[in-house]
Amino acid sequence: MHIMEGFLPPTHCIGWAAASAPFVVHGAVRLRSLMREKPQVRLTLAAAGAFTFVLSALKMPSVTGSCSHPTGTGLGAVLFGPPVMSVIGAIVLLFQALLLAHGGLTTLGANIFSMAIVGPWVSYGLWRLCSSIGLSMAVGVFVGAALGDLATYVTTSMQLAAAYPDAASGFSGSFAKFAGIFAITQVPLAIAEGFLTVIVMNALAEKSSVLEDLGLIRAQP
């Protein structure tokens, strides 16, 4: 992640684009409603987008045709929910493909699916789970951001394995190879992203009105 331009077969590009499209359309509807109902969160929304753009632009070579980096999507998933992050992530990936040659247009659907859909949903689900069992917000944010990052790379490994199965062991053997190589760089990056996301959330918590507006904490009497 990001899978580079032209690396996936055309049928895979079309399939991943078709799989991603409903999530992005739904996210656009949710984003429009959010902006209409809570216009005061626009700056926070922009900050979440910038956070994702900067972190996901810090690419490190990992495996042929791809790279490793933080994703930055866990923060926005907790703040606004995964549907909104599908749109933010799609915009980030589009600009990176056009301006930084990071990812590509033919592989945009696949990259959206892994970084802007799977990652945010995993982050949000784990954050809600941690909250439901009484863990602190900091713990929930760390777990969600770190494992959401890893989920993105597991998905990317699956996408690459599906496109390039091993001659002897097929999909499973190829997936094990891609995921194993990714893990070397991605596990420490995911842990670092988890801590960084907690720091940003703590900074937002100091401005209690931001999290109150989003319904993440109760307003003080």
* Among 119, 97, 117, 116, residue whose Cα is nearest residue 106: 97
Note the pLDDT of residue 61. Answer: 63
Note the pLDDT of residue 28. Answer: 96
pLDDT in tens, the chain (221 residues): 688 888 999 999 999 999 999 999 999 999 999 899 888 888 888 989 999 999 988 876 655 555 678 899 999 999 999 999 999 999 999 999 998 888 889 999 999 999 999 999 999 999 999 999 999 989 999 999 999 999 999 999 999 999 999 988 999 999 998 888 877 778 888 999 999 999 998 888 776 576 776 666 544 43
Note the pLDDT of residue 219. Answer: 41
Note the pLDDT of residue 139. Answer: 95
Note the pLDDT of residue 64. Answer: 52
Note the pLDDT of residue 1. Answer: 62
What is the reported pTM?
Answer: 0.90
* Among 190, 19, 28, residue whose Cα is nearest residue 112: 19
Note the pLDDT of residue 218. Answer: 47
Domains of the chain (ranges, CATH numbers): 10-213 (1.10.1760.20)
Note the pLDDT of residue 180. Answer: 85
DSSP structure string for 94-137: HHHHHHS--S-STTHHHHIIIIIIIHHHHHHHHHHHHHHTT--H
User: Taking each helix axis from N to C terminus, what angle separates 137-163 and 119-132, rounded to the nearest 10 degrees?
Assistant: 150
Note the pLDDT of residue 216. Answer: 64
